Amino acid sequence: MAKIIHEHWKCIGCGACAGVCAKYWEMGDDNKSKLKGADYKDVGEGKLGELTIENPGCNKDAESACPVQCIHVKEEKTKEGTPEANK
């Protein structure tokens, strides 16, 4: 499993993520990018997007391409039998 995190408020709208990973990233009306299907919630600084998917795929390219490092890919290994596995 992989969790993709987007610190939306840091985004400068360069479009690199949508360029390398259009499957998951698109540019929004606010000229910042948007992680498709992500749940965006308000945290103090701004909006934080989170999406959990099976395989990070091209999100790793988006993470590397982002000039302000506001995309984070966290790969999680689920261990059977632990409470985390059912989250």
User: Binding residues for ligand SF4, per CB under 6 A?
Assistant: 11-17, 32-33, 65-68, 70-71
DSSP E strands, the chain: 2-7, 25-27, 33-35, 39-43, 46-53, 71-75
Q: How far is the CB of 46 from ligand SF4 (least distance, A)?
A: 12
Q: How far is the CB of 13 from ligand SF4 (least distance, A)?
A: 5
Nearer to ligand SF4, 12 or 85 (CB): 12
Residue carrying the six token digits 């993709």: 4
Quick one: residue 45, left, alpha or beta (phi over 0 = left, psi -120 to 50 = alpha)? alpha
Nearer to ligand SF4, 13 or 46 (CB): 13
Q: How far is the CB of 51 from ligand SF4 (least distance, A)?
A: 13
